[in-house]
Amino acid sequence: YTMTFRLASTDHVVPQGHQLALIIGGTDGSFISGPAQYPKITVDLGKTSLALPVAGSGPSAVPAALPAAPAQIAPATVSGLERG
């Protein structure tokens, strides 16, 4: 399945050398009540992508190459979500 999530917009300037993390989590308790039983969701990181806008323009705005992702990430289950 392909899932697209449009999230509430916000912006941050990430200093050079810092990294971002994509964290997939549960519900926002202030807006939505969670289910009585959480489903098991598996994310295939090899087929996962994330698109982020980049501030600025020209060649300096986007690095020529990004560092490689870790070759192996140990599966883990957190609050009904499985990563692996």
| 40 is a domain residue | yes
Domain of 45? Answer: 17-53+66-84
Q: Alpha-carbon distance 5 to 55, whole Å?
A: 21
Q: Alpha-carbon distance 12 to 52, whole Å?
A: 11
Indicate whether 75 pLDDT > 70.
no
Using 50, 70 and 90 to split pLDDT, how confident is the model at 81? low
Predicted model pTM: 0.37
| 58 is a domain residue | no
| 61 is a domain residue | no
| 38 is a domain residue | yes
| 10 is a domain residue | no
| 29 is a domain residue | yes
Q: How many Cβ atoms are within 10 Å of 80's Cβ, its own excluded?
A: 13
Q: How many domains in the chain?
A: 1
| 43 is a domain residue | yes
Q: What is the pLDDT of residues 21-54, one digit of tens each?
A: 877 776 666 777 777 887 777 888 888 877 777 7
